[in-house]
A and B are shown apart, each in its own frame.
Chain A
Amino acid sequence: MSIQFWRNTLLSTTAAMFVGFSAPVAQADIPDENYQAILSHLLTEVVPPKLDAFHDATSDLADTIGEFCRDTDTDGLKDVQGAFHSAMDIWQEIQPWRMGPMVANGRDQHIEYWPDKHGTAKRQFRKLVFNKPAVYTDPIKLSEGSAALQGFPALEEVLFDDKHAKQLINADEDGIYLCQYGTAIATNLQTISGELRDEWPEFAQAMSNAGPDSMDYPTAKFAATDLYRALHEGLLIISSQKLGRPLGESEKDGKASRAESETSKRSLRNVEHNLIGLFAIYDGKWGDVGEEGMGLASLIDSSLLDRSFRLNWQTVQDRLSELPTSVGELLEQPDGYAKLSDFAGQIDFLTSLVENDVGGNTKLGGGFNSLDGD
């Protein structure tokens, strides 16, 4: 219903340009060089500076919390929380690039274990604070422990939960342990983001050097499919998990606690940054790096279609900027559930544009078997 609504209110050119699932026969094939250019631009020019920025942000987070723990006070905690938000912002932009070193050895899960269907993180965290094992204050040992206890959600619990924040400042027995544990998490995140940055170039090289001899990426088009999928799946994850989990089955079932990063009241701010990282795949420009039009957009030969896609994306971002930064705050508003549900509908509409317009015109949307198999 929401999709329908948005389809009608947003630019109708998209509907006119509608291209079906099966690649249009009449259109000429796109030369592999064109795909190669996108891969090379996105993977070797655009992503690396962002991975540097992520590493810098986690390093700053580790420094700030280390400093805070030497002399705990309210202002210090605010600084740490600020550093947490900065690191989380950049992470949420990188997160949708689910490929290669991002997923190797469960890395993305170690950085942020979410969603947590069985409440494992809460259970393990409670047990941890109760028992206060010393090994979890050692970043190296911590990195070998449960993924649910070593990334952003665990650090968020330390820094933003009211009770824990008080304990940190009071530096009581629990507070001292939490400070050491939080420092270990930040240091661990710094290490992981460094590994990610270091491993990326080799992967980017392999993707960019697609060719018949590669058993991983026989054509640049095939490699570029992974970028298209990241864009597509990133939107699906926002809709079905980041918004879908708190929305539940119905208004009665809606629950903010099922949202991501709700303890730090930034579940919708995460979506905002997800959208930035996702749009970079399409546009080729990501904040201050890259170049406009050098992403998947370069394959779309209709300027009308390109313009309409950009406008639609912008409309969704604008809508999001009018909402509070967290699902919890939104759901407290009288029509909050409807607003959230409507916003999820807009994301679904973007997904359909990606499938039809981007997938169709870049010819990356999938083939005979991958789109409709048994």
Chain B
Amino acid sequence: MRHQRREFLKLMGVGGAFTLLPLDIARAASQPTIEDRAVYIAASAKDNAGETDDYYVSAFNASGRILFEQALPGRGHDIGLRPNHVDVAAVERRPGLYGLILDRHTGDVRAKLHCPEDRRFYGHAIYSNDGRFLYITENDFDHARGVVSVWDAQDGYRRVAEFDSFGTGPHELHLMPGGDQLVIANGGLHTHPDQDGRTPLNIASMEPNLSIIDRHSGTLIHQAALKADWHQLSIRHLDVAANGTIAAGFQYQGEITDQVPLVGIWRPGGEIRPIEAPDTVQYRMRQYCGSVRFDASGEVFGISCPRGGLVTFWNAKSNDFLTHIAAPDGCGLAATDHAGEFVGTSGLGNSWRMDAIRRKRVELPDDSHKSLHWDNHLRRIVA
């Protein structure tokens, strides 16, 4: 039976030893390099002598050097990137009221989005592949219903449509490969601006799910939820690999000591497959996942756990835990163009290159990025 248990553990990726990736991927991973011309962009904050922090969208290059800082009226969250265009969308985090369209090279404001009075933004936005439409997750708070709004970038960012998100508390959303469908993480938590817009009001009855909708018609195509025992796992963040595999990170609303998975892999049409790290890593994830990001190969994904100060790495092909790298207060994650490699940022001002295959972490050399608290999510732009 002990043997059997070990087999099970191995099977589920909780075996303890690190699973090595296929050799070709390991070979493809390279030493951290500052030669690439990538630009990283994220929401950020600066201490303001005891007052409320000042908020920005900031960009830095591969060596960590700040390229611009654009002040925001309130705390941002994620950045949407318009393909083949200078626009990026910074949407205020929940309960968000504004969205700013910025020039990715200078930070200049190019357009402003205003959330309707009876809606609030959640902080995540994504463009269609042709760059025409911007999709934003919103809270229809009077009806405890999630929606996805559609804004026409070619028509002065006019709000042209609104779809049901098929759940409460929609958070991160992405395009599926092919670009005609959106996958939405409906976190399940109901919040209301009259009660600060952030305190969950339905923890006992929350029902998170992952939903895929047609981005043209808003029709629901696929939906999956976790089993009833795990309904307090808020499915909040996700990323999509080129082959359509979805990785998701959860935030648990129940007890610290409950044994729950925090990561799931979903291949639409099947069920969400939960995966767990070995106990000594799992408890350090502190029931909370921040960002989810696939690497350049689409085989490895990273999940940051800011409360535990870890970034965990997983093999999407074998559904196994791979390894973890400590990153105090680390949350933002972006993939470089090397397989298994990521750039991570922290609220303490650090930025690192992390190599999930060699288990290495190197701080970016330029100190200018250290003056900022880097917010939850990080995006990479290839200049």
Spell out A's residues near B (CB within 8 Å).
22, 24-25, 98-100, 103-107, 109, 115, 141, 144-145, 214-219, 221-222, 225-226, 229, 233, 236-237, 240-241, 366-370, 373-374
The answer to whether A219 and B328 touch across the interface, beta carbons within 8 angstroms, is: yes
* CB-based contact A373/B326 at 8 Å: no
Chain B, 42-68, CB within 8 A of any chain A CB: 45, 47, 49-50, 53
Question: B306 near A369 (CB under 8 angstroms)?
Answer: yes
B residues with a Cβ closer than 8 A to A are 1-2, 5, 45, 47, 49-50, 53, 77, 93-94, 122-123, 171, 236, 255-257, 259, 278-280, 283-284, 286, 288, 290, 306-307, 309, 323-326, 328-331, 346-348, 359-361, 373-376
Inter-chain contact A103/B328, CB cutoff 8 Å: no
Residues of B within 8 Å of A144, CB to CB, are 1-2, 5
User: Can you give 13 contacting A-B residue pairs, CB < 8 Å?
Assistant: A22-B53, A98-B283, A105-B279, A215-B361, A216-B326, A225-B328, A241-B255, A369-B306, A369-B330, A370-B307, A374-B77, A374-B236, A374-B376
Distance in Å: Cβ of B196 to nearest Cβ of chain A: 12
A-B contact count (CB 8 A): 104
- Residues from chain A with a CB closer than 8 A to the CB of B93 are 374
**In the complex the two chains form, is A367's CB within 8 Å of B326's CB?**
no
CA of A373 to CA of B373, assembled, Å = 12
| Chain A residues near B123 (CB-CB < 8 A) | 374
Closest to A135 in B: B1
Q: Determine the chain A residues whose CB is within 8 A of the CB of B373 once the complex forms.
A: 367-369
Q: A217: which B residues are within 8 A, CB to CB?
A: 326
Q: Report the separation of the CA atoms of residues A54 and B121 in the bound assembly, to the nearest whole angstrom.
A: 53
CA distance in complex: A132, B284 (Å): 39
B324 touches A368 (CB 8 A): no
Indicate if the CB atoms of A218 and B361 lie closer than 8 Å: yes
The reply to whether A241 and B257 form a contact with Cβ atoms under 8 Å apart is: yes
Q: Would you call A369 and B326 a contact (CB within 8 A)?
A: no
Cα(A242)–Cα(B53), bound, Å:
38
User: Which one, A106, A221, A367, contacts B306 given CB within 8 A?
Assistant: A367
In the docked arrangement, what's the CA distance between A233 and B227, Å?
Answer: 27
With A369-B373, A373-B376 known, 19 other A-B pairs at CB within 8 A are: A103-B280, A104-B279, A225-B309, A229-B286, A236-B256, A237-B256, A237-B257, A241-B257, A366-B307, A366-B329, A367-B328, A368-B374, A370-B307, A370-B329, A370-B347, A373-B288, A373-B331, A374-B122, A374-B123
Partner of B376, one of A103, A241, A369: A369
**Residue contact B49 to A222, C-beta cutoff 8 Å:** no
Residues of B within 8 Å of A98, CB to CB, are 283
Min distance, Cβ B191 to any Cβ of chain A, angstroms: 11
Choose among B53, B325, B329 the residue that contacts A215 (Cβ–Cβ < 8 A).
B325
A215, B279: Cβ atoms closer than 8 Å: no
Q: Which of B256, B259, B286, B348 contacts A368 (CB 8 A)?
A: B348
Check A100–B324 contact: CB distance below 8 A.
Answer: no
Residues of A within 8 A of B329 (CB): 366-370
Chain B residues, Cβ within 8 Å of A145: 1
A51 to chain B, nearest CB (A): 17
Tell me which of B5, B255, B324 contacts A240 (CB under 8 A). Answer: B255
With CB as the reference atom, state the residue of chain A lying closest to B372.
A368
- Chain B: which residue is nearest A217 at the CB level? B326
Bound complex: CA of A215 vs CA of B327, how far in Å?
Answer: 8
A238: min CB distance to chain B, Å: 12
- The reply to whether A369 and B256 form a contact with Cβ atoms under 8 Å apart is no
Closest to B325 in A: A215
Question: What chain B residues lie within 8 Å of A236 (beta carbons)?
Answer: 256
Q: Which residue of A lies closest to B352 (CB)?
A: A218
State whether A369 touches B346 (Cβ < 8 A).
yes
In the assembly, what is the distance between CA of A237 and CA of B254, in Å? 12
Whether A103 contacts B347 in the complex (CB less than 8 A), given A214-B326, A369-B306, A373-B290, comes out as no
How many Å from the CB of B185 to the closest CB on chain A? Answer: 11
User: Is the CB–CB distance between A367 and B347 below 8 Å?
Assistant: yes
The docked-state distance in angstroms from the alpha carbon of A216 to that of B324 is: 8
Residues on A with C-beta less than 8 A from B309 are: 222, 225, 370
**Shortest Cβ distance from A210 into B: residue:** B326
How near does chain B come to A111, taking the closest CB pair, in angstroms?
13
Expressed in whole angstroms, the Cα–Cα distance for A145 and B284 within the complex equals 26
In angstroms, Cα B92 to Cα A80, docked, is: 62
Taking the nearest CB of chain B, how far is it from the CB of A225, in angstroms?
A: 7
Q: Contacts A214-B326, A215-B359, A370-B347 given: A233-B256 contact, CB under 8 Å?
A: yes
Known: A222-B309, A370-B347. A25 touches B256 (CB 8 A): no
Query: Whole-angstrom distance between the alpha carbons of A208 and B360 in the complex?
Result: 20
Q: Tell me which of B94, B279, B306 contacts A103 (CB under 8 A).
A: B279
A144 to B6, CA, bound (A): 11
Chain A residues in 8 Å Cβ range of B171: 374
Give chain A nearest CB distance to B96 CB in angstroms.
10
When the two chains form their complex, are residues A222 and B328 in contact, meaning their CB atoms are under 8 A apart? yes
Q: How far is the CB of A373 from chain B (nearest CB, A)?
A: 5
Q: Which of A103, A214, A241, A366 contacts B283 (CB 8 A)?
A: A103
Q: Shortest distance in angstroms between A101's beta carbon and chain B's nearest beta carbon?
A: 8
Contact: B255 with A104, CB < 8 Å? Answer: no
Q: A103-B283, A215-B325, A219-B328 are in contact. Are A373 and B47 (CB under 8 A)?
A: no
CA distance A221 to B350 in the complex (A): 15
Most chain A beta carbons < 10 A, residue from B94, B288, B347, B361: B347
When distances are taken between beta carbons in the complex, the residues of chain A under 8 Å from B348 are: 367-368
CB distance from B314 to the nearest CB of A (A): 16
The 5 A-B pairs at the shortest CB distance, nearest first, are namely A368-B347, A367-B329, A369-B306, A368-B373, A369-B347
A222 proximity list for chain B (CB < 8 A): 309, 326, 328
> Given the complex of chains A and B, what is the CA–CA distance between A366 and B1 in angstroms?
42
Tell me the complex Cα distance, A115–B290, Å. Answer: 27
A225: B residues at CB distance < 8 A: 309, 328
Residues of A within 8 A of B45 (CB): 368
